[in-house]
Each structure stands twice: as C-alpha cells, then as structure tokens.
Structure 1
Amino acid sequence: MTRALMTESALLQPDDVRIIRAMQIAPRASFAAIGTALGLTEGAVNRRYRRLRADGVVRVAGVVNPGALGQSRWLVRLRCRPGSVAAIADALAKRDDVNWVSLGAAGCEITCATQSRTQEQREDLLGRRLPRTAAVIDINAFAMLRQFLGGRGHYWSALEGTLSPQEEAALGSGEPPFTEAPVVTREPLRLTPEDERMLAALAADGRASLVDLATGAGLTPGRVARRLETLLQQRVVHLDVEIAAAALGYHARANLWLRVHPSAVKSAGRALAQEPGIAFAAAVSGPWNLHAVAHCRDLDELFEFTSDRIGSLAGLQSMEVSPMLKLVKKAGTRLVDDRLVQPSGG
C-alpha cells in the first residue's frame, strides 16, 4: 500500500501518517526520539500529535488484558427491536468492561466485546442485565479462544511501508512484540491498589509521563517505571494506539464471521493476521469458529477483499459479512462522527 493511498484524506498530511505509524511502533517514545527517527523537529512532532489528538484522529490508551488476570474475553451479538439499538449501544459503551461496540444489520444488531475483570462482573452483564432488557430480542455470546491479531504489536499492517525499515528500527519498541497466545493465561496476576491507580492513569492517557503516573499511583517515578515495565512484559496491559480509520480514507468496516474446517482454524487465523485489510482476528466458540474485523475504503473494495482474499482461505466453508453502520466505541474510546472523543481528564 503506497503512501499516496494512505493520505487521501484532506485532513492528514504525509508527516501526520508517519507520526501515527511511529506511535504504533513506540507508543511512549518521546517527541524528541520520534523527531530524530523521522527527520523532524521535536516541536513539529509535538504540534502535529496534539492536533491529531484534538481532532480525534489518534489516541494512545492503556488497555488491561483480562486474560492475564485469569478471566476470559467474550464477543457478543445482540439483536434488538427497531428504534432501541442506539440507546442500548450507548449504555454498553459507557461500561468500562465493554469495548468495540458497533451497530450493524440495518441498525438492529449490536456487536461488542466484554473485558470483564471478574467473573461476577461478566455474569452480571451477560446473565442478568442484558437478558432483562425488553428491547433485546436475542443474545449470542462467543468465548474468545485464541487471538491471532489485535491489540499491541499488530500495528494494523495497512500502515506498513509508511516508514523505512531504518526509521522503524530507530524507534525501537517499548513493549514485547505481539505473539499468538491463549486468551487466558495459566497463572493469573494479582494487581495491587497502586497498580490499579497507575493503570487508570494509563487508560486516560497512554503517554502520561512517569511523574504523572507516579503521582496517580502514589509511588516514586522509579518504582512506577519498573512496575510498568513488568506489567507490559507480562502482558497485563498493552498500549493501544487507537486510530480513526475514516481519517485515513477507510470508510467501509465489517465484522466477518467465518466457519472453517476444525483442522484449518489455526492456519486460517494466521493467514487472516497477515492481511493488511484485517485489523482483528480470533478463534471463537460457537457455530462461527473465526471472527475478524475488516477495514476497507468502500463497499466495492470490501466485496473484492472478502471474495478474493478471504474467500480463498483454505478450509473455509462459509462466511457472513456484516458491515458496520456505525462504530460507537473502540478499545477504550468513544467515537462521534467517526472521530475519537477524548475522555474527560484524558
């Protein structure tokens, strides 16, 4: 994918996209380090990043991995009565344990993910609150069994090629690379109250300084630096670089539900992870054993991509393409008119 294609939006300049890519690789790198790697001044990087953030194009946020705490993650599809879906989606998006909220199926379906920190929190949402809502006609929940792509380290490969290999190498990385792994770890970690306060500060701003994180956690900057490194290495938290894809010219998004032969689930999931048009891929329970999210420029490109690239996956038996009418929330950030809305205090 060429740089010219990636900068179709009138809002963004080539250097804006280069800075976004730099943030993907090293989310907490200083403006000076990014400027040195990209051949820009520290002030230019600072100004451009702050404008991109204020315009709702990009945001860095710390996202906790429930799997590291011994909890599973679930994908949920809700079928709702006409006229009720917006209010239900809004209520879900307000919850800290729900993310990736989108509307589809002519405005009658909500797809979201749960990231409950405790079993009680998950059971309250899936077992009590949603079933009691009269406007919800049907609920289907699928456990995430194996994540092939998504979160820290996947970089949304549509932006590959924006920087040279030398520029990317100069940025280094503040976190371990993404590797395919079970969604739930075998030895859950217990968070301290200081951890919780630091993670809350990271959720508000993934680029918060060590001094600010220390103030919020009630620790010294040195202790915060060491603890943050530990939590990153143990994958308790990752720094998600949230991007308003529409600002880069990607206006057609879709949830893909794939049924593949059981013997091909791993190979198909790994193949999906290599596709630039795929932003997330995971093996799930239920009749559809793979779920993915596609980002394309328009519906025609979505058709070509799903029929030619996804349709040719070895072992594929059937596929449902469910275009998103509206993305309400990403990993930790609400959207309005396809732009990220900074949380209060973030």
Structure 2
Amino acid sequence: MAILDDVDRALIHALHLDGRAPFTKIGEVLGVSTQTIARRYRRLRAEASLRVVGLPDPQRAGQAEWMVRLTATPHTAQDLAHALARRADTAWIKLMSGGTEICVNVHTPAASDHALLLRDIPRTASITAVSAHQLLHRYFGGPTAWLGRARFLDDAQIAALTPAFAGPGKPLTADDAALLAELARDGRASLAELATATGWSASTVARRLADLQAGGTVFFDLEVDTRPLGATTHALLWMAVAPAHLDAVARELATHPELAIVAATTGPANLVAHALCDDAAALHRYLTQRLGALEAIRTLETAPVLRTIKAAASR
C-alpha cells in the first residue's frame, strides 16, 4: 500500500476537482514541477489504484439505476461477483457481510426489460436471495464523490483547479459510444488517443467533450484506494426515514464528509448511503452520534463492505 505525502494528497485532491487537468497546471498550482506530478501520478496508479474515469450521468443518459442485493452460498459468492463484474451494465460491485452478500449497482436503459434483474439473476442457482432497489434521486455521489479525498488544497488552489463550463451541455447520442468507452477505460486519455478511438479529429473530440461536460452529461470520477487516505472501514447504510422527512434527512447526510453516496431508493429502506471511516470505532461513533441525532431515521441496517470487486467502470 502506498504511503502518501502532502504532494500525493494534493494531487489526488486536484484530480478530484478536474480529472483531466494538465499536469503542467496542477504543478503550477501546487508549486512543484510537471515532472514531479507525472511521476507521482504514475506511482499512485501502480501503488494506490489511482484511476480517472469518464462516465455518463445516468439520468441524462436515459438510464435507470438500481442497487441489487444478492445473497449467495459461501463457496460461490466471489465467483458470482467476478462474473457480474464482466458485465457492461454493472458497477460498484461489493462483497459484503461475511462474504455471502453482494451489492451491485446496475444501469439499464429506462425503457428496457431489465434483463439482469428479471432474467439473468433468477437463473443462477447459487443465489439464495435477491432484492432490487431503484435509485430515485442521488443527493450526493458521482461527480461530487467522497470528500475525504478533497481536503488538502486551500481555497485559492481549489478555485484555480475547478473547471468552469459555460452553456447547457449536450445530450448523448449513439455516435458517442466509442468516446465513452475510451473515457471509461482512461479518463485522462489524450485527445489524440480519443481521436483514434472515435475516428474523429482531435479538434472534434475536444469540442464534443467540452459540450458533454458543460451540462454534466459526462463527468470525471476518481478511483483510489482509500486506505492510504485513512478510510479503512466501509459500510453501506440502509435507512428507513419517514417520507415527510426524507428530503431533509438526505440533504443533511449529503454534507457529511464520511459519506460517498446518499440516495433515495425504493424498498423497505428508502435511503441508502456509503460510509467510509477511519476504523470500526469511528464508524460506531458516526452511527451513534451523527446518525443517532437524526430522530427521523426510524431504522438503520449497517452492511460492512469486505472488498470492492469492481469500481465505477470496467478495466
């Protein structure tokens, strides 16, 4: 596991703000050489699983987003999780709760027949239980993911590195498929590499990418091993909140630096969150002190994350 110093942490924060920021710009803002930034980036990729990925916003892409919870027999759960990871419509696959539960994020076309949900899963004999929960609204997550990686730059540095996009943005079309596939592989792919992947000119790629980013149709997420950043304990939190208080509670949770996602969902638990804490004691304090102070939360299920099998996009 990588040992991070101040330059590493500042670089991670910079890429959190703008995953495609040139190394020259990051170096200028951080006060170090471009060569140092490039060298640190390569080391973090190798030792801390650092990765920038370009992703479509599910709502703007016309996708329905689900969290599917599967319980499998102990000797098959890992194989099943890896099989699900090979699918293009899955992300954030986590092995949980003693290694027999899998939680998988599924994106499907809004008008599809939901093949994974309705056909593929029931045919897998090793699965003993399934529940599917549609995400109705993300209060936090995606392009504003876990703030624990974004606390190392000062206000002036943040302002210098935060991109400003003008215009309403453009919707995705079928012609964008090759561009999205390459950005999911490497969000920092050069314009020349993107041009090769799409068959477009570099100037066309630059214009199209700017149009898609402007309105948030495409955003850049940052994957990184959170342990060197201090978050060694992860858990999914499934909460039941009185409907009249759901919006207020979710907006409050969206300000908590311990959380990487907050979303309203269908099912007995109508609010889900992903917590990242320093250790088990810190998670306990968060549950009892911060969440415990919110009386509108009627029930809370804590599901520890043992391992992330797949992150935001396929590798």
TM-score (norm 2): 0.94
State which drifts further: 269-278 or 59-68. Answer: 59-68
SS state of the match for residue 82, structure 1?
Answer: coil
Q: Which among 163, 172, 196 is matched to residue 173 of structure 1?
A: 163
Instruction: Classify 1:124/1:10 alpha carbon distance in 2 versus 1 (closer, same or farther; 3 Å).
Output: closer
Q: Is this contact kept in 2: 1:27–1:174, CA < 8 A?
A: no
Instruction: Classify 1:314/1:221 alpha carbon distance in 2 versus 1 (closer, same or farther; 3 Å).
Output: farther
SS state of the match for residue 59, structure 2?
Answer: helix
Are 1:202 and 2:183 counterparts? yes
Instruction: Classify 1:216/1:160 alpha carbon distance in 2 versus 1 (closer, same or farther; 3 Å).
Output: closer
Q: Which among 25, 36, 43 is matched to residue 44 of structure 1?
A: 36
- RMSD of aligned residue pairs (Cα, Å): 1.8
Q: 1:157-182: CA deviations, max 9, x gaps?
A: 22343111011111122668xxxxxx
State which drifts further: 95-104 or 109-118. Answer: 109-118
Q: Distance in 1 between matches of 2:228 and 2:184?
A: 23
Q: Distance in 2 between matches of 1:325 and 1:296?
A: 13
Instruction: Classify 1:200/1:290 alpha carbon distance in 2 versus 1 (closer, same or farther; 3 Å).
Output: same
Q: Which among 70, 81, 96 is matched to residue 73 of structure 2?
A: 81
Q: Is this contact kept in 1: 2:192–2:202, CA < 8 A?
A: yes
Q: Is this contact kept in 1: 2:85–2:310, CA < 8 A?
A: yes
Q: Aligned ranges for residues 128-143 of structure 1 at < 5 Å?
A: 128-143=119-134
Alignment partner, residue 125 of structure 1 = 116
CA apart distance, 1:71: 2.2
**Structure 2 spans left out of the alignment, 5+ residues:** none
Alignment partner, residue 137 of structure 2 = 146
Q: Distance in 2 between matches of 1:159 and 1:269?
A: 21
Q: Aligned ranges for residues 16-165 of structure 1 at < 5 Å?
A: 16-117=8-109, 119-120=111-112, 123-152=114-143, 154-165=144-155
SS state of the match for residue 115, structure 1?
Answer: strand
CA apart distance, 1:80: 1.2
Q: Is this contact kept in 2: 1:66–1:116, CA < 8 A?
A: no
Q: Distance in 1 between matches of 2:22 and 2:307?
A: 34
Q: Is this contact kept in 2: 1:26–1:174, CA < 8 A?
A: no
CA apart distance, 1:281: 0.7
Q: Percent identity?
A: 36
Q: Is this contact kept in 2: 1:77–1:109, CA < 8 A?
A: yes
- The count of corresponding residues between Structure 1 and Structure 2 is 312
Q: Is this contact kept in 2: 1:28–1:174, CA < 8 A?
A: no
Report the AA paired with residue 79 of structure 1: T
Q: 1:205-238: CA deviations, max 9, x gaps?
A: 1011112111211111111111111212233321
Are 1:250 and 2:231 counterparts? yes
Alignment partner, residue 193 of structure 2 = 212
Give runs of ≥4 in structure 1 deviating > 6 Å.
none
SS state of the match for residue 169, structure 1?
Answer: helix
Instruction: Classify 1:322/1:155 alpha carbon distance in 2 versus 1 (closer, same or farther; 3 Å).
Output: closer
SS state of the match for residue 178, structure 2?
Answer: helix
Q: Is this contact kept in 2: 1:255–1:322, CA < 8 A?
A: yes
**Structure 1 spans left out of the alignment, 5+ residues:** 1-8, 177-187, 334-342
SS state of the match for residue 68, structure 1?
Answer: coil
Report the AA paired with residue 134 of structure 1: A
Q: Which among 282, 305, 312 is matched to residue 286 of structure 2?
A: 305
